[in-house]
Amino acid sequence: MLVIFSASTSAGTPQNTSRFIRPFLLIFKPDLTDEQFEKVHYAIRKTGHFVEYAMLGLLLLRALRGEQGFMKFAPAAQFVAVLLLCAFYATTDEFHQRYVRGREASVHDVVLDSCGAAFGLIVYGVATRKRKPR
């Protein structure tokens, strides 16, 4: 959560991230146009949202699975609870960005973040699923 919060500061503005993403992309495509860069930069930033929250969902579920009270809930209820926590955090993160110069709040980012969290939860569930012996 600290990593996500720090990325929501002015350090995470598109102007700042483009300072290191553009030179990196130019290594692979020296003739990269500004229009191409903007599209790729946007995709990288949105992928970052998805991946950050996939990791948050996965790690939060893993952490809460160590709590006896949490384990009393059915796996589906655990999934929903963690997903709601991640969606709530995504909402507060966007609210925070509303007050940061160079950043803006976006409902689309909350949805993207929540989808990332759901993906992380699914990956965790598949990876830890107990196989039935044949």
| pLDDT tens digits, 35-50 | 999 999 999 999 999 9
Q: Where are the domains of the chain?
A: 2-128
Residue-wise pLDDT for 101-120, tens only, equals 888 899 999 999 999 999 99
pLDDT at 53: 97
Residue-wise pLDDT for 58-69, tens only, equals 999 999 998 999
Over 90: is that where the pLDDT of 15 sits?
no
Does the pTM exceed 0.85? yes
Over 80: is that where the pLDDT of 131 sits?
no
Copy the structure tokens of residue 103: 């950043």
Over 90: is that where the pLDDT of 130 sits?
no
Q: What is the mean pLDDT of residues 81-94?
A: 97
pLDDT at 4: 93
- Percent of the chain, pLDDT > 70? 98
Over 90: is that where the pLDDT of 13 sits?
no
